[in-house]
Structure 1
Amino acid sequence: MSRLDSMRRRLSAQIDGLNWAARLTDAMPGDVLELGLGNGRTYDHLREQLPDRRIWVIDRVLQPHPSCVPPAENFLLGEADAMLAELALRHVKVALAHYDFGFGVKELDVEEGARLSPLIAPLMHPGGLVVSQQPLIGFTRIDGPDTIDPERYLFYRATG
């Protein structure tokens, strides 16, 4: 499969997965957490799908398309560990999290997901959903939409 075809599959899975998770968490209290802003496409989609939710965004840099810059009060600039700790201090509770961090090196991505998982878990509303490209730990893995290859995108329910 070409890289372009692979990208199309990833983007389709991302859209289907986020729409599915947004519907499932619609009546649940809590905010949304975007872990990794990048150029802002996913953030833009989340704010369109969930216009009444506060969307927290964490990233090391702020370089999105100009139309996708989150409000300053919702953007935490820095390393994820410190920013997740900051959200915990603010007693933020999240109904839906999208984990989109990655270096592009599978071993490093898996290691980072495992390291950050225990910092994400306390922020989650019980029963909240995490949509992720990387494997996470400490969450219950669930089946996502039938349109998505189970290894393309991962879906987790928060416990506790």
Structure 2
Amino acid sequence: MSRLDSMMRRLSAQRDGLEWAAEQTGDMNGDALDMGLGNGRTYDHLREILDRRIWVIDRVLQCHPSCVPPSQDFLEGEAEEMLQKLAAMGAKIVLAHYDFGFGVKEKDVEEAARLSPAIARVMIPGGVIVSGQPLVGFQAVEGPAGIAKDRYYFYRT
């Protein structure tokens, strides 16, 4: 499979997974969390499909100008510290998207496992996590049909 085809499958799985998670959590009370703003495409999509506050965590704010989150919802810094800050603020996250990464699979998987307990502290019971990396300590669930195994990961808290 070409890198272009692979990227298209990943983005399609991400979109379908987020829309599935929005349906799964539609009647639940709580906020959303986008971990890894990047260019802002995912955050922009979440704004379109959700009617709830969306917290955003990233090391730096360098997204497209149309995708800048409100300053009160953007936590800039290292992930673990920002997740601790979010937990201390009493945030209740019902839907989270995990997209942190260095671009080196082994390092990305290791960081996802390391951050999993901090993510758990902000999630409400029954919440949904959509993740580009495997997480630990959550109940793996089957996401939407048509997404290849290990392309995206889906969890309930």
TM-score (norm 2): 0.99
Cα distance per residue 1:66-92 (max 9 Å; x no partner): 000000000000000110000011010
C-alpha contact (below 8 Å) 1:16/1:147 kept by paired residues: no
- CA distance in 2: counterparts of 1:82 and 1:122, whole angstroms: 12
The residue aligned with 1:130 is 129
Structure 2 letter corresponding to 1:15: R
The residue aligned with 1:47 is 47
SS in structure 2 opposite 1:48? Answer: helix
Cα distance per residue 1:32-70 (max 9 Å; x no partner): 0000000000000001000x2100000001011100000
Q: How many residues align?
A: 157
The residue aligned with 1:17 is 17
Structure 2 letter corresponding to 1:70: P
What is the correspondence of 1:67-146 to structure 2 with a 5 Å cutoff? 67-146=66-145
The residue aligned with 2:6 is 6
**Alpha-carbon distance, 1:150 to partner:** 2.1
Structure 2 letter corresponding to 1:86: K
SS in structure 2 opposite 1:131? Answer: strand
Runs of 4+ in 1 over 3 A off after TM superposition: none
Structure 1 letter corresponding to 2:110: E
Runs of 5+ in structure 1 lacking a partner? none
Q: Percent identity at matched positions?
A: 69
**Alpha-carbon distance, 1:147 to partner:** 1.6
- CA distance in 2: counterparts of 1:30 and 1:124, whole angstroms: 9
- CA distance in 2: counterparts of 1:72 and 1:53, whole angstroms: 16
**Alpha-carbon distance, 1:151 to partner:** 1.0
- In angstroms, what is the RMSD of aligned CA positions? 0.6
C-alpha contact (below 8 Å) 1:143/1:150 kept by paired residues: no
TM-score (norm 1): 0.97
Structure 1 letter corresponding to 2:147: I
C-alpha contact (below 8 Å) 1:29/1:125 kept by paired residues: no
**Alpha-carbon distance, 1:120 to partner:** 0.5
